[in-house]
């Protein structure tokens, strides 16, 4: 019985397919029209599709860590200049957020580049490349707008436009991600090959500069303080040496017990200052070396090079093929729905009779 039911269902499927293809053949004119329309749409889409150029850079954080307190911190503590503590560290997650910071984007946008035989800052190239020049022709307040001031001296209008650019870049053009191994990938995606390349390059340079300055800021401050202390000790040592020399000149060949006490005191001052100075110089050199060892640095692994491979484009032939397939599927769906609709009408009519 089950085999009969299975046989009947298989026969029904075969009959249904035959009916479907027969109906498809009868509606060949409509099918052809649908397929032609979708093929033309596919062709037009391929012709109007604009390539996107992707520029990617990869980087990683590296650091050399040591045990104990650095020479700079140790000497500073000896002089009573500061308490203990460690400097804040920029990790991969923080670095990803820093890349998207308006300060970094602004620094990159105000670097100069030559695009389409014109040398200008990237912010002005952005206006020309992404249609703002045409859009602003209808706006009296922005018609002919260009960035004319320096990065640190922007007008209110320039700041407003720059904030709008930064928001669009973060939304549409810039992506950052971190792999499990800690490799950070920074990708710029735009329709301009040169803009993608230069903006990616300048972003990496801006992030690297910010990172180096930020991570070494406290160390530089400590070294400056220690250097000033060593310089002041050197002055004190020189004054003590001159005081001893003046006393000797004033008391040449005079031997008095009271005078010897003054000489011992002056000699002691010279020896103390000299000892402190020598220790200070030694610790200063150690702190410089330790600072270089313990300073993490941003290592650039890969950077984009020209030419960039365009992505997102469709060849005319592929556009026609895709359009043909989509059109055939739509036509098949149309024929299938007509068959089901006709069967439903017949079934309703039979029930009414």
The DSSP-derived string for 113-159 is EEETTEEEEHHHHHHHHTTHHHHGGG-TTTTT----S-TTS--HHHH
pLDDT at 251: 66
Give the pLDDT band (50/70/90) at residue 88: very low
Specify whether 31 is located in the same domain as 97. Answer: no
Residue 80 has pLDDT above 50, yes or no: no
> What are the C-alpha distances in Å from 73 to residues 67, 82, 202?
13, 8, 35
Q: What is the four-CA torsion angle of 108, 113, 119, 122, rounded to 10 degrees?
A: -30
Q: What is the largest CA-CA distance in the chain?
A: 148
Specify whether 76 is located in the same domain as 198. Answer: yes
Mean pLDDT score, 34-50: 75
Give the CA angle between residues 116, 188, 185 to the nearest 5°.
145
Closest among 317, 320, 319, 338 to 30, alpha carbons compared: 338
Note if the bond before 75 is cis, omega within 30 degrees: no
Beta strands in 173-256 (DSSP E): 174-178, 184-190
Its domain, for residue 167, covers: 52-311
Residue 134 has pLDDT above 80, yes or no: yes
Residue 245 has pLDDT above 50, yes or no: yes
pLDDT at 131: 84
pTM above threshold 0.75: no
Specify whether 295 is located in the same domain as 321. Answer: no
Give me the half-sphere count of Cα atoms (radius 13 Å) on the Cβ side of residue 178: 13
Specify whether 38 is located in the same domain as 75. Answer: no
Specify whether 68 is located in the same domain as 45. Answer: no
For residue 82 the two structure tokens come to: 């500061």
Mean pLDDT for the chain?
75
Q: Given the structure tokens 């003054």, which residue do they identify?
A: 262
Residue 298 has pLDDT above 50, yes or no: yes
Mean pLDDT score, 24-52: 77
Residues facing residue 112 across a β-bridge: 121
| Beta-strand pair 52-62/184-190 | antiparallel
For residue 190 the two structure tokens come to: 């735009």
Specify whether 143 is located in the same domain as 171. Answer: yes
Give the pLDDT band (50/70/90) at residue 130: confident
Of 281, 296, 311, which one is at a domain's C-terminal end? 311
Specify whether 306 is located in the same domain as 319. Answer: no
Specify whether 231 is located in the same domain as 181. Answer: yes
Radius of gyration of the chain measured on its C-alpha atoms? 39
Mean pLDDT score, 324-351: 78
pLDDT at 49: 64
Specify whether 209 is located in the same domain as 322. Answer: no
Specify whether 162 is located in the same domain as 38. Answer: no
pLDDT at 65: 47
185 and 176 Cβ atoms separated by less than 8 Å: yes
- Contacts for 292-295: CB closer than 8 Å, 24+ residues apart: 293/64, 293/66, 294/63, 294/64, 294/65, 294/66, 294/70, 294/219, 295/63, 295/64, 295/215, 295/216, 295/219
Helix, strand, coil share (%) of the chain residues, nearest 5: 65, 10, 20
Specify whether 196 is located in the same domain as 298. Answer: yes
Q: Count of domains in the chain?
A: 2
Specify whether 275 is located in the same domain as 255. Answer: yes
Residues facing residue 61 across a β-bridge: 298
The packing angle between helices 122-129 and 102-109, to 10°, is 90
Closest among 231, 233, 228, 226 to 288, alpha carbons compared: 226
């Amino acid at each position: 019985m089950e085999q009969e039911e299975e046989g009947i269902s298989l026969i029904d499927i075969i009959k249904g397919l035959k009916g479907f293809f027969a109906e498809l053949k009868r509606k060949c004119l409509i099918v052809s029209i649908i397929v032609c329309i979708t093929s033309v749409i596919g062709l037009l889409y391929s012709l109007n599709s604009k390539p996107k150029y992707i520029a990617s850079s990869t980087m990683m954080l590296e650091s050399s860590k040591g045990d104990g307190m650095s020479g700079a911190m140790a000497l500073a503590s000896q002089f009573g200049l500061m308490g203990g503590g460690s400097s804040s560290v920029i990790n991969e997650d923080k670095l990803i957020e820093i890349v998207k910071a308006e300060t970094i984007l602004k620094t990159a946008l105000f670097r100069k580049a030559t695009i389409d035989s014109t040398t200008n800052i990237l912010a002005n190239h952005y206006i020309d490349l992404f249609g703002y020049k045409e859009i602003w022709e209808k706006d009296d307040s922005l018609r002919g707008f260009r960035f004319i001031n320096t990065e640190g001296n922007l007008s209110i209008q320039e700041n407003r436009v720059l904030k709008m650019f930064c928001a669009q870049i973060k939304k549409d053009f810039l992506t950052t991600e971190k792999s499990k191994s800690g490799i950070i990938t920074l990708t710029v995606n735009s329709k301009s090959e040169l803009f993608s390349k230069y903006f990616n390059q300048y972003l990496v340079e801006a992030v690297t500069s910010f990172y180096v300055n930020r991570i070494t800021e406290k160390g530089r401050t400590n070294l400056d303080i220690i250097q000033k202390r060593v310089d002041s000790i050197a002055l004190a040592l020189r004054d003590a040496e001159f005081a001893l020399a003046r006393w000797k000149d004033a008391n040449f060949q005079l031997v008095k017990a009271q005078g010897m006490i003054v000489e011992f005191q002056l000699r002691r001052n010279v020896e103390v200052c000299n000892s402190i100075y020598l220790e200070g110089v030694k610790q200063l050199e150690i702190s410089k070396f330790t600072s270089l060892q313990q300073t993490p640095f941003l290592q650039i692994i890969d950077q984009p090079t020209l030419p960039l491979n365009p992505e997102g484009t469709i060849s005319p032939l592929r556009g026609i093929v895709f359009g043909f397939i989509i059109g055939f599927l739509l036509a098949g769906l149309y024929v299938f729905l007509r068959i089901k609709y006709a069967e439903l009408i017949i079934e309703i009519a039979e029930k009414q009779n």
